[in-house]
Amino acid sequence: MTPPTVAILGRPNVGKSTLFNRLAGQRAAIVHDTPGVTRDRHEADVRLGDQAFRLIDTAGFDSQAQSSLAQQMTEHTLAAMRQADVCLFVIDARAGVTAGDDILAETLRRGGKPLILVANKCEGRTSDLGDALRWGLGEPITVSAEHGTGLSELFDALAPYASDAVAEENAEEDALQPLKLAIVGRPNVGKSTLFNRLLGEERVLTGPEAGTTRDSIAAAFEVQGRSILLHDTAGLRRRRTARPAVEQLAVASALTAIRFAECVIVATDATQPFEKQDLTIADLVVREGRAIMFVINKWDCIERKAGAIGAFREQLDHLLPQIAGAPLVAVSALTGEGLSRLLPGVLDADRAWNRRVATAELNRFLARALERHPPPAVRGRRLRIRYMTQAKTRPPTFALFGTQLDALPQSWLRYLQNELRAAFDFAGTPIRFSLHTSKNPYTD
């Protein structure tokens, strides 16, 4: 049974995202005093006692929107209203009822969806809310999303629309856990366009302006019978670039999405591929130990395509030798070209990230690797590697046992890393080593 959908609607800066975070029990949406911070629909599954529903945070409704971006935000807000089973109409108790509230109230009433009127920011002195009675929605439920007061009355109002949380929880336990996939990259490389193309709908705002996306937006879909939870993220800029507070929050949200992801798509621009910021982002993903896949977007902008993929592959392996052989596809998120190869590559990278190799097979591999290229001597003494085993997966981590292993040079470990990738198909997966050195009994 699908839980009912609750959309939070209102003017800019009435506290919709703060209320969303409070009900969701997490800081999922960016919150700031600046009006218009939220641009895309943010969704979360919420359980409150024995109640369960799907919650949607929306951008502030602006009936006088002039720019294309503001018009898109308003259209997405109206789409959320049409999708919802019930709407929370949020007003600012400090500002009182405004002309913008009147316009939105009329719009919501024409939508024909059940409405619950919520007056937020009631922790201090409030304005007269008597004018809200003319909308015919009853007395507003007074809450403070920031301090968590008044929520019990809101839960009571939502109770008739909520589904059974116990049944939903049991259904989720029976389902396969979705693959957590994030799309990251520098600003304006087409991440949101790619996100929409994979979902098959205009789920997030897109535009030629850099920095359109602020929140990390998640949406679920299925491919080859596997459920995938896809995250769109804000563009990551160089740290030394001066950023306003809202952009800093957006970058922090993108970094959090990387840490919670299992596989990460690093998107770059085909007309300006593998710039320094692209490499920095890829290195961050590798250090977090996530499976990685590279997507060269805007392939439709390349005129001479013959041999270009091979050149990109050679360039990538040269610049990022620590993940040589990582999956790479060229796509056009705008036209859909090449997308048929993207998701199968993601699933291959996820399988490699979860791959486990038997200890006996690993030690036969180790013997061959040592025979081809033994580690160098240290102060005239050989380094002995007795055996190895796989300590864990996600990412694959291998334990080496022997003597003086703390003196193993990084160049030899990179050699062993590349040999492991070639022998057991760990392409696109960070590989880590844990070195265990036997203590010399004659040291003292």
Summarize pLDDT for 307-346 with one digit per residue, the tens. 899 999 999 989 998 888 899 999 999 999 999 999 999 9
Output the pLDDT for position 223: 83
| Residue 166, pLDDT score | 44
CA distance 129 to 142: 10
Residues 12 and 110 in one domain: yes
Q: What pLDDT does 285 receive?
A: 94
Same domain (yes/no): 369, 311 = no
- Do 119 and 147 fall into the same domain? yes
The total number of structural domains in the chain stands at: 3
Of the spans 4-8, 43-47, 246-250, 425-429, which averages the highest pLDDT?
4-8
Q: Give me the mean pLDDT over the 17-40 stretch.
A: 69
Task: Tell whether 184 and 260 lie within a shared domain.
Answer: yes
pLDDT band at 168 (very low <50, low <70, confident <90, very high): very low
More confident residue, 410 or 427: 410
Task: Answer whether residue 20 is part of any domain.
Answer: yes
pLDDT (tens digit per residue) in 76-89: 888 889 889 999 99
Residues 83, 186: one domain?
Answer: no
210-226 pLDDT tens trace: 656 666 788 888 887 88
- Tell me the CATH number at 248: 3.40.50.300
Specify the CATH number for the domain of residue 429.
3.30.300.20
Angle at the Cα of 358 from the Cα atoms of 356 and 360, rounded to 5 degrees: 155
Least confident of 37-51, 105-119, 375-389, 426-440: 37-51
Residue 174 has pLDDT above 50, yes or no: no
Residue range of the domain that includes 399: 359-437
For the cut 50, the answer to whether the pLDDT of residue 195 exceeds it is: yes
Q: Which of 306, 328, 353 represents a domain boundary (last residue)?
A: 353
Per-residue pLDDT, 158: 87
